[in-house]
Structure 1
Amino acid sequence: MEARQRRALRRLRGELAEQLRLEVPLQYLYQEGVVSRSLLEELEAEPVAARRNLKLLDYLPGRGPRAFAAFVHSLRDEAPWLSRRLEEEEAREDEDDEPPADDVLSTISDHVLNGVPTDKQLNHLSGQMGTEWEQVVMDLGLRSSDIYRCKMNHQYNVQAQILASFIVWKQRLGKQATVRNLCTSLTSADVDPTVIKDAFQ
C-alpha cells in the first residue's frame, strides 16, 4: 500500500471505525485474497463492531499494493459515502510535498535526535502506526517473546501494545534508546515520513 493510501486510512480512521459495517465488505476482501481465512474468522468472532473495524484497518496497510483499491471497492455498494471519502482523501494527497524518508532526520534537531524519546512522543507515534510496528521493534532489539507479552497484556488495544513495546525498548537500553535509533528503524520499516516528523518535531 502506498504512503498516500496509508495516510488516507489514518485520517479517516475514526470515521471508518464508527460507520463501517463489515459483513459484506469482509467477504469481498476474503474473496480477493486481501484478508486471510484466519483473520476473517477472528473478525467475525469479534462481538464489538468498533474493535472489529480497527483490527481490519490495522491489518490492511500490510496486505500489498491492491489492498486499498480492494477495500474502497468493497464499500461501494454497502457504504458508498465511505468509498467516496477514501477516494477523495487519496486524491488530495500530493506526495511532492512529503520529504523523502532519507531526508526526514535532517528535519529533526540534533538535540531531539540524540535524546531519549518521551512517553508522550512514543504514545503519539503508537497511535499513528500500522502493522509495521512489529518490524520496527524487532529492529530495535526486542524479541518475539517481548512482543507476545505486550500483546497479551493489552489484547484489545493495538496502540497500547505498540506503546508497551516501545517502553520495554526504552527501559532496556536506557540512554542508548535515542530518537535517532528509533527514526532509523522507522525509516527502515518504510513508516510514512510524515508520521515520524509529527512525532518528533
Structure 2
Amino acid sequence: DFESDLCPDLSPESGQESHFTMSPQAAVLFADACGLSDSVLERVLSDQELCRLSFRLGAEWEAILMDLGLPAEAVFRCRSDHSLSTQAAALSGLVLWRRSRGRSATARRLLQSLQAVGVHESVLGEVLTPPSS
C-alpha cells in the first residue's frame, strides 16, 4: 500500500524534557484508554511505526515536536526541508526526536505529547497495534 511504500526502515539514538508531566495515576489511565501495555509504552518506536504515525498527523505535528522538546529551529528546518509534504516533515522531526533522546524516546512520552496537543490516544494505539491479517 501507499503508506508502506513511503515508510522504509531507517534506525535509533539524551536531552531536555518537555513541560508536560503526568502523574503515575494518569499514566495508567492513558495506557488503559488506548489499550497498550506497559511493555509497549516503554519501548522506543521503530522507523516503521514513526512513519505510520506521521501519516496520521496533521497541522499539529509541529506542536507535538515542540512538546517533545525539539528546538523551534529544528522544527522549522523539518518544515522547510520538506515544504511539499506534511508527512515527510513530521517523519523527519519524529526521527530527529528519537535520535536525540535515545532510550527516553518512548511510546509513553510520545503519547503524553499527543495528548498535550489534543490528539486522541487511539492514533498511537493504531500505530502500535499490528494490523490483523
Instruction: Give the TM-score normalised by the residue count of structure 2.
Output: 0.71
Q: Aligned Cα RMSD in Å?
A: 1.4
Answer yes or no: is 1:170 the counterpart of 2:61.
no
Deviation string 1:169-198 (CA, Å, 9 cap, x unpaired) is 000010111110000111111102321210
Answer yes or no: is 1:140 the counterpart of 2:95.
no
Deviation string 1:136-194 (CA, Å, 9 cap, x unpaired) is 11010011100111112111111000000001100001011111000011111110232
Q: Which has the higher helix share?
A: 1
Rounded to whole Å, the distance in 2 between the matches of 1:178 and 1:172 is 12
Report the equivalent of 1:105: 31
Q: Percent identity?
A: 34
Deviation string 1:89-136 (CA, Å, 9 cap, x unpaired) is xxxxxxxxxxxxx84422101111111011111111110111111111
Per the alignment, do residues 114 and 181 of structure 1 end up closer, same or farther by CA in structure 2, a change over 3 Å counting?
A: same
Bigger Cα displacement from structure 2, 188-197 vs 154-163: 188-197
Provide the aligned length of Structure 1 versus Structure 2. 100
The structure 2 residue matched to 1:127, chosen from 33, 55, 76, is: 55
**Counterparts of 1:1-201 in structure 2 under 5 Å?**
103-106=29-32, 107-201=35-129
Could you tell me which runs of 5 or more consecutive residues in structure 1 were left unpaired when the two chains were aligned. Answer: 1-101
Bigger Cα Rg: 1
- The answer to whether the Cα contact below 8 Å between 1:105 and 1:183 also exists between their aligned partners in 2 is no
Instruction: Give the TM-score normalised by the residue count of structure 1.
Output: 0.48
Could you tell me which runs of 5 or more consecutive residues in structure 2 were left unpaired when the two chains were aligned. Answer: 1-27
